[in-house]
Structures are given as C-alpha cells and as structure tokens.
Amino acid sequence: MIAEQINTVNTIPNIDAAGHVTGRSIYVDDIPVMHGTLVAKIIDSKLGHGIIKKIDYSKAEMLEGIVRIFSAKDIPGQNEIGGIIADEPLLAEYKVLFQGQPILLIVAETEDAAEEAIKNIIIEIEPLPVVIDPREAFRQGQLLCKSRTFQKGNIATAFTTCKYIFEGTAETGGQEHLYLETQGAYAYPVEGDSLRLFSSTQGLRHVQETVAHVLGIGMNKIEVDVTRLGGGFGGKEDQAAMWACMASLAAWTLKRPVKCIPHRMEDMRMTGKRNPYKSDYKIGLDENYKIIAYEATYYQNGGASADLSPAILERTLFHGTNSYDIPNVQLTAHSCKTNLPPNTAFRGFGGPQGMFVIEAAIDHAAKEAGVETTLIQRANLMVNGTEFPYGQIVADSEAKHCWDEVVQLHNLDNIKQQIETFNKENLLIKKGFSLMPVCFGISFTNTMMNQARALVHVYWDGTVSVSTGAVEMGQGINTKMLQVTAKTFGISTKKIKLETTNTTRVANTSPSAASATSDLNGKALLNACNQIMERLKEVVRTIFNEAEESIVNIIDEQVFINGVQKDLSWNEVVKQAFFKRVNLSAKGHYATPVINFDKTIEKGHPFAYHVYGTAITVVTVDCVRGTYEIDAVHAVHDFGTTINRNIDLGQIEGGLVQGIGWMTMEEVVYNGAGKLLSNALSTYKIPDIYSVPKEVNIHFLKTEGSDLAIFKSKAVGEPPLMYGIGAFFAIRNAILAFNPAAIIPYTAPITPEKVLMALYSKRS
C-alpha cells in the first residue's frame, strides 16, 4: 500500500550540513567583532516576588572597565516588551515578579570587568509571597488574559446518556528549549541614528518593533539581520527580543557596538520554557466505547507575564480533541499568572499539552472499562465531515489511514503477542506498547499572521539572490527555499544564493514558527519567481517571434518552446532580458486563502490543512531499577508529497526524540521560592544517544497533500513531537504488566524515579 512520494527535486542535501560539520556556519557570536565592541551583562532578580526597596550601583559604575550601568529610568522609549499584551518591563522598576527577571544592565569593556562590578551592586527587595502553581494562581484570581471556552453540542445532556463516565486529572511539565546556540544579540550604531542588529531570533519583526518601542524611534531605524539560529524550537519566537533590546539600548545610548549573549546557565535561568499544564477531564462513552462527551479544564502555567501564553492557550483548545470525533465537547482554558519566568512557545505550541489530556482520559476510560486503550482510540478517530469543536469541517482526514497502515505494516497483533510472551517469561523486565495518533492544524491560529514575502534578484550573469522572511534554525528551510527557486526557474541550485533574513529586504515578517514557514515563505517565493519567469518567457517569445499561446519552459537551464528544445540557455535569456531593459527583480507576497476565525463565537476555519500520523511505541522497563528503554517507534506520517525526503525525515526523528524527552526525562524543577533547580546540563537531562529509540521506522503515507502546502509538501516541523506522548503510555503499560494494581498518575514526565515508585505502589 505504501509508496514513497518522489518530487522532482526531493533529494538534495541540506545546504547547511557541510558548514555545520566543519564549524564554518555563522552564529551571532561568530560575527567578526568590530573595534570597540562592549559586552552587556544582565543583573537579574534573586527573589521570586518582591518590592524593590533600593538599587545602588554607584560604586560599581566607578570600577575600571565599566562604561555604564543602565536601569529602568535610562530607557528612552517605553520600558515594555510584551508581544501580545503590554505587561512586561524590560528592566524591573518597582517590583520583581520572578527569579531571573532583569533589573540592571552592566555595559563593560570586558566580561571580567562586568563580573567584578556585579559584586559591588546592592539591590534590596522586600519579599512578597511566591506562587508557582497554576491552580493556586487561579484560586487567587491571578490570570494573564481572559479565559476561553470552546464548545460543541451539549455536554450536560450528553453525559446523562453515557454508559461510562470517568473523571481525573493530568499534568505535563515544562521543557527547556536547550537550543545549542544560546539567546543573544549584537548591535552596532550606524549613520542616521540607526542600528544594525544581529539577533538569534525566529521573529525579526518582533525584535525590530520591540527595540524601536524601547528606544522610542521608528522601526525603519532598526535593521535586523539573521543568518541562522543554532536552534530555536519556539524559544526565540518572542523571547529573543529581550536580549536584542539590551544590546540595542546600550549601543544606541553609547554609540558603540554592544554584544549581549548570556552564558548557558543565565539563559536557562532567565528565559521561559514550555508552559506546564495541570488539567481536569471528564469523559463519557456509550456501550460501544464511542466517546459521547468530553470536558476538560486546562490550567496553564504562564509565568509572570503574558508573552505568547494567550496564543499557546488557544492552540491547546484547538487540539484538545486531537484526532477524535466527539459530538459533545466543552474545553475551558485559563492562563495562570505565576512567579516564574514567562513561559513561551515550544514546538507544538500548547497542542501537545491539550493532546496529553485527552489521551489520558481515553486511557483512563479503557483501563476502568477493562478494554484496550487502542480499541477506544480507533473507534473514535475522525473522518471527513467531522466538525472540530472550533467549527472547521474535516475535509482531509488521514487519521484512520495512518492508524490502519501502521497497524497493518508493523503487524500490531504480532507486536502484542511478542510483548505478552516476553512479559510471561520475564519477571523483572516488562514491555509495554501504545499507539499515538496525531492531528495538527497548520496555520498561525491568529489569521493575520499567515502572510509572507520574498525578494528575488536575477543578476545579469544568470545567478540568483533569494531573500525571504524565513529563518533557518536547523529545520532546513533554506534548502527548501533553494529547491523552490531552482524548480521554478529550471536552473541548478548552484546558481542560487540564499541571503540572510533581513528586515530591509523583507519587512513585517511573521515569525518562523507554527511549522508554516515553508508554506508561507515558499509560496511568496514562488510568486516572486513566477513574476520574473513570466517576463523571461515573454523575452523568449519575442526572440523567436512566437505567439502568446506558445508554451515556454526552462528545463535544466535550456529553453523549450512547445516541448522543443531551442538553442538558448538560461544565461542567454537573462542577458537578453537585461539588454531589453526587463525587470529582473521581483517581490512576492502570499496570504493564506480560505482561513478565518471569529473569537467572539470561537468558531471558524483557522487552519489551511491538518497533518496526520500515528506512531506505535514499544518500551522495556527494568522493574528493579525503574529505568526504561524505548525499543522502537514505528510511524506512518502524512507528509503530503515531500519536497525533501531527508530533511523531512530528520524533522520527524528530531521532533519524536524531543517529544520523548519531554514525556519521560526532561524535568524542569523550581523550588517553592521560584528558583530554578534544573539550571544546568548536570541537573536537566535531555535525550542522548542511549535514550533514543533503538529502532525508528517512518513510513510516508501514500497521499497527495494539500494545495495550500508548498508543492503539496505538508508542514513537518511540529507534528512529530506529539508522537513522543506515546512513550508515556507505553511505559505506563509496562509498569502495569509488572504490577496491575500500580498507581500511576497521568503526570509527565514519567522519570525513572516515578517509574520506580509506581512499580511498587498499590491501590488500597
């Protein structure tokens, strides 16, 4: 059944690979340093909540090598950096709301001088009570934004008809982005009271507008340039702005180049992470295990200010029912304000948090009703015509196709049989498995953000320069943009240069996020290339005296008219066009059609399309030690018609492993005072080569894809992360094979400590 889709140019290697492995790729800290560059260091709050009583840096400012110390009063524009809601000061002035909150900025000739000065700064803060739990914050009425409810059918009446009803709670933890390149920015003053700013950001516009806002000047005075990121994973969608503002504030005021790049531990302490969630669920089923009603309430831990949490909250609601068709649904989400660093975007953007809850609810129902979880999952998968709780009608469902294909291809019955036999033969090692279906909506949930632009220059020697709003962060977007250009012009990729992402070439960018970067920027680029191509075709027709209807193509840099090759190359056409004074540059624009959403009724058609897939996870638990291994993950994934097979496979593997990390071992721990305890790589465990699945099989679902995806190659960045949720349930099942009476709360991550406790727990 499964055939791999091959697009015409779908196998080119990632153009960044050689640079990465030879250390030639440029990150912010690799940019050649200009003479007179200063370093900026942030002094952050050591208390989780309190009133600032005294700040004295008079002694520190006198020290050798210290150029200037900035406090809130030195900000020329607005002391405010919130992206969605204006609730976040750049530098704390009266109050601190979390440990790690910036209070002062030291600008020094050297790092050492700055470190010395820190010892001579006095900050007195009168402590206030610290709240780090979202449910507690909710009880105290501490919310970051308006709560939201998505509703479909009528749960109240539906629950009265259910044969089975189960209620419970589910929790997911935070997650540190751990991009290899930390946050950072390098700003230098240029003529005309302007700044050129190199920033490690996914969101150039947000950095540009926030810096302009803080400095009290127009966006046109700030040029932001990004070569690439050493990873973003959502952590640099909005939170890059703070570091950029710090470097810019100093560079602007002092008229000197300034770098602001934190150490790893500073980055970990000061930045927000994936939003942890605590949730309640209630699920009702009929005698055939059809889910009749589902109710969930999500308490999102937003941290001290809104950041992107309101948008993340929204996506939790959008994905609250995952791949399931449920007639009566009510989902309510609260964004709770706590004394933690503002939490932020992280691959999946609230979707995984919502999906975990429904998977927990279904698993709970299955275990109580005495049937297999997979039976309830399969019985409720959505089909075309299903209405999502937000009103969009499913038109492209691959949910059952993916499920059935992976079950058939990997012979689930056989897997189950093998696990059963293994568990019978082994007393102290047990295996478990799970299935995890995924349905992820593609488009920014804020319709306005679904737009992009590209700028293409064809130089008269036939080489091409491409600028888009897309940021390369390891996901391979530049390679995909190269392919779009090469394919549209019919030329070799060697002729094309991908430029840095720069606000003077492509303005008002949406962040490279929501997995939509290649669709949005690819389509804008296609538009730009097509404009130039049409002009070149006209030139060809003129040269050969051909009628308007004749079909001109360029294939492998050779001109064809009505399928017949002509003695004319790409280079020659371009040269002729230039001689004829034809415009060889174009600006492309794209805005996703069809999509809309009305927040007043919480209904609409917010997504261009959905991405589907199902993963089988098999694990082995050591029941003496509580440790576990992921034996295998087999997935059937809906790539549409992949534009680049290897890059897309890399995204699936990386996303999967990141999801497994979130579910099983990555534990963000704060103490009651709001101090981050997992503040280094010695205390925060991410997946390594030993913890990745021993076997990963990814199959390409045989499907065409969506016209709203670039060349029908569906978005791939975030959806695979959610396959990792399967690891939680597989481990849970292995524990139950050892101890059927074990108490195993739906609380992730399920670390070895928790596994050990669960193995020897007993229901009373």
Active-site positions read: 718
- 473 in contact with ligand MTE (CB under 6 A): yes
Residue 764 neighbours by CB distance under 10 Å: 4
- 475 in contact with ligand MTE (CB under 6 A): yes
Query: Do 307 and 337 form a contact (C-beta atoms < 8 A)?
Result: no
- 520 in contact with ligand MOS (CB under 6 A): no
Sole binder of ligand HPA in the list 260, 311, 623, 734 (CB under 6 A): 311
Task: Looking at residues 582 to 601 of the shown chain, list those that interact with ligand MTE (rule: CB under 6 A).
Answer: none
Sole binder of ligand HPA in the list 236, 256, 315, 523 (CB under 6 A): 315
- Give the DSSP letter string of 115-181: HHHHTT-EEEEEE------HHHHHHTT-BSS--EEEEES-HHHHHHT-SEEEEEEEEE-------SS
**Distance between CA atoms of 338 and 316, rounded to whole angstroms?**
19
- 234 in contact with ligand MOS (CB under 6 A): yes
The pattern of x and - marking residues 475 through 514 that bind ligand MOS according to CB under 6 A reads --------------------------------------xx
Task: Looking at residues 331 to 350 of the shown chain, list those that interact with ligand MTE (rule: CB under 6 A).
Answer: 347
Six token digits for residue 574? 């371009």
Please tell me what DSSP assigns to residue 721: G
Binding span for ligand MTE by CB under 6 A among 319-327, 516-524, 596-604, 660-668 = 516-524
- 514 in contact with ligand HPA (CB under 6 A): yes
CA distances, 198 to each of 115, 263, 444 (Å): 24, 18, 25
**Sequence-ordered list of residues with C-beta below 8 angstroms from that of 682, at least 6 positions apart, any chain:** none
The residue type of 472 is: E
Task: Looking at residues 192 to 251 of the shown chain, list those that interact with ligand MTE (rule: CB under 6 A).
Answer: 231-234
CA 204, distance to chain mean position in Å, is 16
- 717 in contact with ligand MTE (CB under 6 A): yes
The pattern of x and - marking residues 656 through 695 that bind ligand MTE according to CB under 6 A reads ----------------------------------------
Task: Looking at residues 281 to 320 of the shown chain, list those that interact with ligand MTE (rule: CB under 6 A).
Answer: none
- 641 in contact with ligand MTE (CB under 6 A): no
**Distance between CA atoms of 712 and 705, rounded to whole angstroms?**
5
**Distance between CA atoms of 299 and 301, rounded to whole angstroms?**
6
Strands (E) located in 543-649: 552-555, 558-561, 564-569, 585-591, 596-598, 603-605, 609-622, 628-637
Sole binder of ligand MOS in the list 346, 388, 609, 670 (CB under 6 A): 346
Query: Which of ligand MTE, ligand HPA, ligand MOS, none does residue 231 bind (CB under 5 to 8 Å by kind)?
Result: ligand MTE
Sole binder of ligand MTE in the list 182, 515, 617, 706 (CB under 6 A): 515
Binding span for ligand HPA by CB under 6 A among 70-78, 146-154, 442-450, 625-633 = 442-450
Smallest gap from residue 474 Cβ to ligand MTE (A): 3
**Distance between CA atoms of 661 and 470, rounded to whole angstroms?**
27
- Residue (476 or 674) nearer to ligand MOS, CB: 476
**Sequence-ordered list of residues with C-beta below 8 angstroms from that of 709, at least 6 positions apart, any chain:** 442, 519, 608, 609, 640, 715
- Residue (233 or 294) nearer to ligand MTE, CB: 233
Smallest gap from residue 445 Cβ to ligand HPA (A): 4
Smallest gap from residue 592 Cβ to ligand HPA (A): 12
Query: Do 107 and 252 form a contact (C-beta atoms < 8 A)?
Result: no
- Residue (45 or 512) nearer to ligand MOS, CB: 512
Smallest gap from residue 202 Cβ to ligand MTE (A): 7
Smallest gap from residue 654 Cβ to ligand MTE (A): 6
**Distance between CA atoms of 558 and 494, rounded to whole angstroms?**
15
Query: Residues 26, 650, 510, 519: is their CA dihedral positive or negative?
Result: positive
Sole binder of ligand HPA in the list 108, 258, 340, 345 (CB under 6 A): 345
Reduce the DSSP state of residue 396 to 3 states and report it: coil
- Give the DSSP letter string of 247-271: HHHHHHHHTS-EEE---HHHHHHHS
Smallest gap from residue 121 Cβ to ligand MOS (A): 35
Smallest gap from residue 321 Cβ to ligand MTE (A): 22
Smallest gap from residue 511 Cβ to ligand MOS (A): 7
Alpha helices in 187-339 (DSSP H): 204-215, 240-254, 264-270, 309-318
- 513 in contact with ligand HPA (CB under 6 A): yes
Query: Which of ligand HPA, ligand MTE, ligand MOS, none does residue 445 bind (CB under 5 to 8 Å by kind)?
Result: ligand HPA
Query: Which of ligand MTE, ligand MOS, ligand HPA, none does residue 436 bind (CB under 5 to 8 Å by kind)?
Result: none
Query: Which of ligand MTE, ligand HPA, ligand MOS, none does residue 475 bind (CB under 5 to 8 Å by kind)?
Result: ligand MTE
Binding span for ligand HPA by CB under 6 A among 68-76, 444-452, 460-468, 725-733 = 444-452
Sole binder of ligand MTE in the list 130, 406, 477, 636 (CB under 6 A): 477
Q: Compute the radius of gyration of the chain from its Cα atoms.
A: 27
Smallest gap from residue 473 Cβ to ligand MOS (A): 8
Six token digits for residue 373? 């979880």
- Residue (101 or 300) nearer to ligand MTE, CB: 300
Q: Which residues on neighbouring strands pair with residue 324, listed in sequence order?
A: 381
Q: Is the peptide bond before 693 cis (omega within 30 degrees of 0)?
A: no
CA 498, distance to chain mean position in Å, is 23
**Sequence-ordered list of residues with C-beta below 8 angstroms from that of 401, at least 6 positions apart, any chain:** 612, 636, 638, 701, 703
The pattern of x and - marking residues 158 through 197 that bind ligand MOS according to CB under 6 A reads ----------------------------------------
Query: Which of ligand HPA, ligand MOS, ligand MTE, none does residue 444 bind (CB under 5 to 8 Å by kind)?
Result: ligand HPA
Number of residues that make up the chain: 764
- 177 in contact with ligand HPA (CB under 6 A): no
Six token digits for residue 142? 């501490």
Query: Which of ligand HPA, ligand MTE, ligand MOS, none does residue 473 bind (CB under 5 to 8 Å by kind)?
Result: ligand MTE
Task: Looking at residues 229 to 258 of the shown chain, list those that interact with ligand HPA (rule: CB under 6 A).
Answer: 237
**Distance between CA atoms of 15 and 19, rounded to whole angstroms?**
8
Six token digits for residue 399? 């949910």
**Distance between CA atoms of 197 and 241, rounded to whole angstroms?**
11
Smallest gap from residue 657 Cβ to ligand HPA (A): 20
- Give the DSSP letter string of 620-651: EEETTT--EEEEEEEEEE--BS-S-HHHHHHH
Q: With contacts defined by CB under 6 A, how many residues of the chain interact with ligand MOS?
A: 10
**Sequence-ordered list of residues with C-beta below 8 angstroms from that of 357, at least 6 positions apart, any chain:** 170, 277, 279, 281, 296, 298, 320
Query: Do 613 and 438 form a contact (C-beta atoms < 8 A)?
Result: yes
For binding to ligand MOS (CB under 6 A), which residues are involved? 202, 232, 234, 237, 345-347, 349, 513-514
For binding to ligand HPA (CB under 6 A), which residues are involved? 237, 308, 311, 315, 345, 349, 444-446, 449, 513-514
For binding to ligand MTE (CB under 6 A), which residues are involved? 231-234, 347, 473-475, 477, 512-518, 651, 654, 715, 717-718
